Amino acid sequence: MTSTFDREVKQGDRFQFGKNWQRFLSVLNDERIAEAQKSLKQMLQVEDLEGKTFLDIGSGSGLFSLAARHLGAKVHSFDYDPDSVGCTQELKRRYFPDDNNWIIERGSVLDADYLKSLGQFDIVYSWGVLHHTGAMWQALENVTLPVAERGRLFIAIYNEQGSKSNRWRQIKKLYCSGIAGKTLVSTVFIPYFILGGLAVDILKARNPIARYTDYKKSRGMSRVYDWFDWLGGYPFEVAKPEDIFKFYRDKNFELENLITCGGGLGNNQFVFKKQ
């Protein structure tokens, strides 16, 4: 697995999400953790996760594994990126050292046998991950394997925007192609993101600090680190919300909750219940 991952990075076929998450951990605080917990409770429509089992597929920074553990769940986290695994392990070390109710390991969502070996979970969570595997529809199929009967599947998938999505795919591939590509894309788009955000603040007569605070309260994430996550996020696939709905309906999953990005750029969030 390690040799495959390293080869993909070297060939420009994969962004190192874990390197970005390592930097994010430097700004992680109790407020962000509380916002992550709040977002889980709101989307899953629960007050806590006491007595529940929670599988975090593509744990990334480890923030949502941590949030689920704080809410009382027994957590199993895995990621394909070794640095992401390290980030999740770091959060366990900080907040739940020597905790037997939080398991962290390296694994791939594209490995169906591995997923079957994990057993069944009340909640299977994979936010903004499956479209970065290089085989999104296979990943969407595989995440159904560990969902227990009447269990919930919580996923977030990039919205299909036609030609815009195709252009972003090329930009992301360029970013991952090497130092020159990364520098070029960052030089062009980071100022664009900054000025775009400033323009919105001016048009809406809003305080930039207040706007930043609003964003931080959205899942406890960081705007700056999300910019780099977006620019480098390759492989990159997308889907229309109706296609995701139909895909899981045919697999006997009922849609319980949905938040779309309004047809624009971003993730559509789904919570399905296994019938």
Cα–Cα distance measured from residue 182 to residue 254, given in angstroms and rounded to the nearest whole number: 41
Domain ranges of the chain: 2-160+236-274, 163-232
| Residue 16 in this model has a pLDDT that exceeds 50 | yes
pLDDT confidence of residue 221: 62
The pTM for the full model equals 0.89
- Taking only the tens place, the pLDDT of each residue in 118-165 is 999 999 999 999 999 999 999 999 999 999 999 999 999 999 999 999
For residue 212, pLDDT beyond 50: no
Question: In the CATH scheme, what is the homologous superfamily, with its name and number, of domain 2-160+236-274?
Answer: Vaccinia Virus protein VP39 (3.40.50.150)
Res 215 pLDDT > 70: no
SS3 99: coil
Strand 267-274 versus strand 147-158 pairing type = antiparallel
**How many other CB atoms are there within 10 angstroms of residue 266's CB atom?**
15
- What mean pLDDT do residues 5-27 have? 92
% of the chain residues with pLDDT over 90: 77
Greatest Cα-to-Cα distance within the chain, rounded to the nearest angstrom: 53
The answer for 51, left when phi > 0, alpha when psi is -120 to 50, beta otherwise, is left
For the stretch 166-186, pLDDT in tens is 999 999 999 999 999 999 998
137-156 in b/e burial notation, b at 16+ Cβ within 10 A? eebbbbbbbbbbeebbbbbb
Query: How far is C-alpha 77 from the chain's CA centre?
Result: 13
The reported pLDDT for the residue numbered 206 is: 45
Specify whether the CB–CB gap between 76 and 56 falls below 8 A. yes
Q: Residue 2: which pLDDT band, with cuts at 50, 70 and 90? A: confident
Residue 254: pLDDT over 50? yes
> Per this entry, what is the length of the chain?
275
pLDDT in tens, 42-100: 999 999 999 999 999 999 999 999 999 999 999 999 999 999 999 999 999 999 999 99
What is the rounded average pLDDT for all residues in the chain? 90
The number of C-alpha atoms within 13 Å of 158 and in the hemisphere containing its C-beta is: 23
Answer yes or no: are the C-beta atoms of 253 and 274 closer than 8 Å. Answer: yes
Residue with tokens 């390991």: 105
Rounded Cα–Cα distance for residues 244 and 119 (Å): 24
